[in-house]
Amino acid sequence: MIVVDETGFLPFAGKIAVSDKAGRFCIFDDNEGIRTEVPVNVRDAGYDETSGGAVYILDFSTLSDPGIYHVESEEGDRSVSFAVQPDAYKTLKNALLKFFYFQRCGFELEEKYAGPYARKACHPGIVRIYRSDDTIDVHKGWHDAGDYGRYVSAGAVAAAHLLYAYELFPKAFEDGVNIPESGNGLPDVLNECRYELEFIKDMQSSDGGVHHKATSEVFCGYIMPHEDDKDMLAFPVTSLSTADFAACLCIASRVYEKYDPAFAKECLSKAHRAGGWLLSQEDNTDFHNPPGVITGEYTDTSDRDERMWAYAELLKTDLSVDEKHAYAKKLREMLDSYKESHPHADGRSVDDGFGWQDVSSLAILSVLSDTKGIFDRALRDEMEGMLYERADAFADMQKTGWPVSMKREDFVWGSNMIVSNRAAILAIAAMNLAGRIGGGGSVPGDPDKIKTRIASYEEAYANQIHYILGMNAMDVSYVTGFGEHAVGDPHNRVTVADGIEKAIPGELTGGPCTLFADEEIAKRLDHDTSPQKCYLDDHRSYSTNEIAVYWNSTLLFSVAYALKD
């Protein structure tokens, strides 16, 4: 088996494929029907426990002429065809962004934007507060995933990925994606993100705390969103949602200021109220589904990282002297407490802090991107140290075995998010080393050594993306519609119910999961299957083949890095 990134390569980027057998390999030009002279260097990377086999890394980086190619071995193994082209990531980036439009709740998707996936508006915005007769008005927002729930922490993290991607890589978002707001003067990434922010900001309760989620009591069946008539309920306030809400709305107030000052101001005042709630409520008001409630839980044993992110983002807004003191003190406490509970990895895997459950890297990004000297030097240095510690750990994981920063224990539910989050950390670390985060400038140290280190982060980053797009032991691209072996049967209620054979393109599915957490995979696969192969392209396998907004958003962030210049 020879596996390769099915979306293809930029002409001057590094190019590798993976074979599970040794041998001699060559590159075929599919258009010309001839074997090229491009050398293929083979490196024996040893046995890999995540794939359960040998790993040979085939490097053909000198191939740079645009075209369609495949890799072949003397024994007759061949890879799928892939392209070398300057636009390799542009179409993908746009599809990953358009995905969010297809997730819109309470909105009619018209044919001129949605094509065959047009559908009626769904789910009324007035929802009843769980165990009360009161209601709140929460229109808009994205359906979380293959279900139709809307969850604040998951949604705020996804929205933040989009906003940070726009702040760091604005050039990547210059073209539009044909959504109703296109052409109104805002980049579409901000138009689309606004749709979610409208929902998030309405989830705040009168005391400043934020409801955890708006979902029905139990998941509906495989029906279209507008056919789901179960009552929507707003569940209790949690510190997790309140902190993620505060951080996300602080970023929004900064980003939308230039386009819509009134909206920016509203986001800010809501974020400040959430900040006040956080200061008055020291405990982690964790969420668990009450008996009888069967929808997503998004539970978390610690809210240190969420609060750290919120306090960092709040400190970047206009505050009184007293507020500044209070948030700075709390930020320091949260960082110390977070570090205490995350001792050195000692060979175990390392948290990336870029997902819905651990947002510590979002806090790091928030601090490092400050241009106004808001944070004290010591805190900034510690945060930077954490970033590099993570990036180094992820780069090290690629030194032997499969060229992806994943250990056996990382193949949990949403493993593709972990792959993509780690790509994002490597990208952020490379960019920070290049002096391009937080006002830019030169980085102290030997310039050659810095260059080598940036190159090593970027190489590891690229391999993470290659894994998602086909260079994996399943020999599939995990993004619908992208690649010869792209996955096609995701766990998305819309896709099962809409009667259209082809899934909506641009959806990243969760990926291999060794938890055997749905009946389908538990029934069909041996429990000693290698981690990378614990996957079914079958909508019944929701623990391996669902889609989710914060999975697409992290991949969008990572792919946008490749388009930053």
Which residues, 134 to 153, sit near ligand G3I by CB under 6 A? 144-145, 147, 149
- Closer Cβ to ligand G3I, 69 or 338, answer by number: 338
Is residue 219 close enough to count as binding ligand 9MR by CB under 6 A?
Answer: yes
**Measured between alpha carbons, how far is 548 from 149 in angstroms, rounded to an integer?**
11
CA distance 157 to 169: 18
What residues form DSSP beta bridges with 137? 126
- Token code pair at residue 217: 């009591």
Residue 91 or 299: the one with the smaller Cβ distance to ligand 9MR is: 299
Q: Which residues pair with 72 in a beta bridge?
A: 26, 78
* Residues of span 71-110 touching Zn ion by CB under 5 A: 105
Residues 6+ apart with CB under 8 A from 371: 438, 439
Find the binder of Zn ion among 10, 57, 122, 251 (CB under 5 A).
Answer: 122
- Residue 537 beta carbon to ligand G3I: minimum distance, rounded to whole angstroms: 16
Nearest to 93 by CA among 171, 198, 195, 12: 171
For ligand G3I, which is the closer residue by CB, 150 or 272?
Answer: 150
Nearer to ligand G3I, 305 or 546 (CB): 546
Which residues, 26 to 85, sit near ligand G3I by CB under 6 A?
none
Which pairs from 472-476 meet CB under 8 Å and 24+ separation?
Answer: 472/3, 472/404, 472/532, 473/3, 473/50, 473/51, 473/52, 473/53, 473/402, 473/530, 473/532, 473/533, 474/512, 474/532, 474/533, 474/535, 475/1, 475/3, 475/80, 476/535, 476/537
Query: Smallest distance, Å, CB 470 to ligand 9MR?
Result: 25
Least distance CB 369 / ligand G3I (angstroms): 26
Minimum CB separation of residue 452 from Zn ion in Å reads 49
Is position 208 an interface residue for Zn ion (rule: CB under 5 A)?
no
- Residue choice 297, 323, 333, 459 for contact with ligand G3I (CB under 6 A): 297
DSSP states of 260-284: -HHHHHHHHHHHHHHHHHHHH--S-
Among 13, 63, 88, 145, binds ligand 9MR (CB under 6 A): 145
Which residues lie across from 47 on neighbouring strands?
Answer: 54
Q: How far, in Å, are 24, 256, 282, 398 from residue 275 at the CA level?
A: 61, 20, 12, 40
Identify residues 504-563 at the interface with ligand G3I (CB under 6 A): 510, 515, 546, 548
Q: Which stretch binds ligand G3I (CB under 6 A): 21-29, 397-405, 410-418, 422-430?
A: 410-418
Site for Zn ion in 214-253 (CB under 5 A): 225
Contacting range for ligand G3I; rule: CB under 6 A; set: 88-96, 390-398, 408-416, 421-429: 408-416
Which of 542, 550, 557, 561 is the binder for ligand 9MR (CB under 6 A)?
A: 542
Q: What part of residues 278-317 is at the interface with ligand 9MR (CB under 6 A)?
A: 296
491 DSSP assignment? B
Q: For the window 88-127, what string marks contact with ligand G3I as x by the rule CB under 6 A? A: ----------------------------------------
Detail the DSSP E strand segments found in 49-149: 53-59, 67-73, 82-84, 126-129, 135-137
Q: How far is CA 363 from the centre of its chain?
A: 16
- CA-closest candidate to residue 59, choices 74, 44, 47: 44
User: Sheet of 67-73: strands edge to edge?
Assistant: 34-35, 25-29, 67-73, 82-84
105 binds ligand 9MR (CB under 6 A): no
Task: Using CB under 5 A, count the residues that bind Zn ion.
Answer: 4
Q: Which residue has the tokens 């993470």?
A: 464
Q: Does 165 bind ligand 9MR (CB under 6 A)?
A: no
**Candidate residues 83, 223, 279, 412; the one interacting with ligand G3I per rule CB under 6 A:** 412
Does residue 146 touch ligand 9MR according to CB under 6 A? yes
CB of 550 to ligand 9MR, least distance (A): 13
Which listed option, ligand G3I, Zn ion, ligand 9MR, none, makes contact with residue 412 (CB within 5 to 8 Å by class)?
ligand G3I
Q: How far is CA 90 from CA 19, 54, 184, 480, 559, in A?
A: 28, 33, 21, 15, 9
Considering the complex, what minimum distance in angstroms separates the CB of residue 373 from ligand G3I? 35
Residues designated as active site: 147, 491, 537, 546
**Could you tell which of ligand 9MR, ligand G3I, Zn ion, none binds residue 122, using a CB distance below 5 to 8 A set by kind?**
Zn ion
With beta carbons less than 8 A apart as the criterion, state whether 433 and 395 touch: no
Q: Is 490 in the site for ligand 9MR (CB under 6 A)?
A: no
For position 413 contacting ligand G3I by CB under 6 A, the verdict is yes
Q: Is residue 219 within 8 Å of residue 145, measured between CB atoms?
A: no
Crossing angle of helices 261-280/321-341, nearest 10°? 60
Binding partner at 123 among Zn ion, ligand 9MR, ligand G3I, none, C-beta below 5 to 8 Å by kind: Zn ion
Residues that bind ligand 9MR (CB under 6 A): 145-147, 219, 296, 542, 546
Q: What residue ranges bind ligand G3I (CB under 6 A)?
A: 144-145, 147, 149, 296-297, 357, 412-414, 510, 515, 546, 548
Interacting residues toward Zn ion by CB under 5 A: 105, 122-123, 225
